[in-house]
Structure 1
């Protein structure tokens, strides 16, 4: 199996838990953020780490997601809402419950797109989110 170029059965992906999709999507999103930061300039490892933490934190994810809502396809919106409405038992101290739910929805969407092999769409959405970020 090629874990970098997945294209899983649509029904199998739909049967996955939203929190499972979010778990995977969290990693996909973090790799994209780290790549974006590394390609943007020469930061020290400490500065890269601090910047990455800022972008992967739930409040920042929730704010960046607002850029995507108008362009999500119906099926993507459904996956996002399913992830957002999942019921995690806790949330981090640095985020409101709402921010954490929105971030979970975003991560579920990224996990879902990754498992479907839709890397082009992942890149497109990520670029929209990061537009204007410095």
Structure 2
């Protein structure tokens, strides 16, 4: 028997009852795969190592924390609630390369991504990630042109 893991979704109520750290667990993977796909589509000439280094700059706690600051204004009440559940969840460890505040905000971000993924709201994931990438592109353009300094 083959299980169809790609089509199995949870209802919003089922997802809300999940441990936020479990949602963050899947959300971390969801965000990383989107970042990796974006990077490989835009930088197919780069080596796997260079792609990996670029991916790290997006998926580390510091970056996710800064993304969340941009996204907060775009969240609806339900998304904001899920983000806060993840942010306020007590994680047993904090990586040595992140401070506690950044790590908690990043966990909230991952929880939100996991929640949207597990309920099948892929369109909303794309919308939020587009906001992140567009903001990143705008910042690169400002740095390149020296505008805003």
Normalised TM-score (structure 1): 0.94
- Matching of residues 1-134 of structure 1 within 5 Å: 1-41=3-43, 42-133=45-136
Moved over 3 A (4+): none
Flag the structure with more relative contact order, 1 or 2, with Cα contacts below 8 A and sequence separation at least 6: 1
Consecutive unaligned residues of structure 1, counting only runs of 5 or more, are: none
Q: Is the CA contact (8 Å cut-off) linking 1:64 and 1:130 kept in structure 2? A: no
TM-fit CA distance, 1:54: 1.5
CA distance in 2, matches of 1:6, 1:68: 27
CA distance in 1, matches of 2:136, 2:5: 30
CA distance in 2, matches of 1:68, 1:108: 14
| Aligned counterpart, 2:143 | none
RMSD (Å), alpha carbons: 1.2
